[in-house]
Amino acid sequence: MVGKMNKIVLAYSGGLDTSIILKWLQESYGCEVVTFTADLGQGEELQPARAKAEMLGVKDIRIVDLREEFVRDFVFPMLRANALYEGQYLLGSSIGRPLIAKHLVAIAREVGADAVAHGATGKGNDQIRLELAVNALDSSIRVIAPWRRWNFRSRIQLLEYATKHQIPVPKDKRGEAPFSIDANLLHTSTEGKILEDPAEVAPEYIYQRTVDPIDAPDTPQTVTIGFESGDPVSVNGEAMTPATLLTELNRIGGRHGIGRLDLVENRFIGMKSRGVYETPGGTILLAAHRGIESITLDRAASHLKDEIMPRYAELIYNGFWFAPERDMLQALIDRSQAFVSGEVTLRLYKGCASVISRTSPRSLYSADLVTFEESSLAYDHHDAEGFIRLNGLRLRSWAARKGT
């Protein structure tokens, strides 16, 4: 026995690991456990999670559809920043954790729980993301991380515990450790097994949302995305809710093999890990958002956004979504999006999403200024001479010194 509590709220997927954790919490703390299953668009039937929780004696089972909140309040703000961790990763797992933590805390307050619990392991980033978020939202709530507390030292011991307590064990989870898979409406990620060797080619069967670009249609497809104040609002002229829009772009992008990424990344905890990601809709939206910004953002504003983006992305990756510095950066980013409205058309073809046109009623682009033909605007080519001479002053001084 590791202590007694009144009530614990568990982030519960219904899978083998969190089912074992559920039973372990009941035994170890001798209290009621409330399960919370977040529907972030992972594409799985969630009722089996309810059935398994009922089988394990849970009386208060929460299954909450968070798809619209996830995309509207977490994915879209992140996309306004064009956020990429280490220049490539669209942060699909990272951005889901603060939302889960938000609802864990809300339920804990509602039911009067002493603690919340999660199934993240002691080696990964998710334990940090979840617990930092809980810390930021309610410092009075304890966090229980069974993977850091229990005495199980191998998967065999876990399977023996599951068998003892009649917890169903899927056949593909016997013996060899399974792939670790995370999925939500933004992405899927796969880690473990053969992927732990970065020299090994990822097998095709691990991909769930995208066809192999080689097997994608030989005919390109165009898609037009409408934006208002930095957020996507329509696909091919049809207005959609945030979650519906991302779902549609996942479908379209997956058909063309868009959004595959095989990445060795640097975890916050200090180790390198390899993951295979699929983010079809998010990849299209990133290209489209950059396309609409290219004609609506001022040069200096655009460059400033690009400068702070790595810091912003790192904050999300490391679990600081609710930290004050992320709020500060978000305010700056959101201020930049006031005039980022219009439409962007992309061509999708065999894994590539390429912007081919962009229009905006708030565009800063002037054909009169850039044309090689006679311009009606007051741009005097001779003005460039003084501009260059002033900017070259320090360079001429530097060159003169080198010559001495």
Catalytic choice (13, 17, 94, 360): 17
* Residue 234 β-bridge partners: 226, 239
CA atoms lying within 13 Å on the CB side of residue 60: 16
Answer yes or no: 60 catalytic: no
What's the chain's Rg over C-alpha atoms?
A: 25
Intra-chain end-to-end CA distance of the chain, in Å: 80
Residue type at 339? F
164-181 in b/e form (b: 16+ CB < 10 A) is eeebeeeeebeeeebebe
Answer yes or no: 335 catalytic: no
* Contact between 340 and 293 (Cβ < 8 Å): yes
Q: 10 Å Cβ neighbour count for 241?
A: 13
Answer yes or no: 97 catalytic: yes
Where helices occur in 165-275 by DSSP H, the ranges are 242-255
Catalytic choice (67, 97, 129, 274): 97
Catalytic choice (142, 180, 290, 334): 180
331: Cβ–Cβ under 8 A, 6 or more apart, which residues?
Answer: none
Catalytic choice (19, 80, 126, 358): 126
DSSP state of 179: P
Answer yes or no: 180 catalytic: yes
Q: What are the catalytic residues?
A: 17, 97, 126, 180
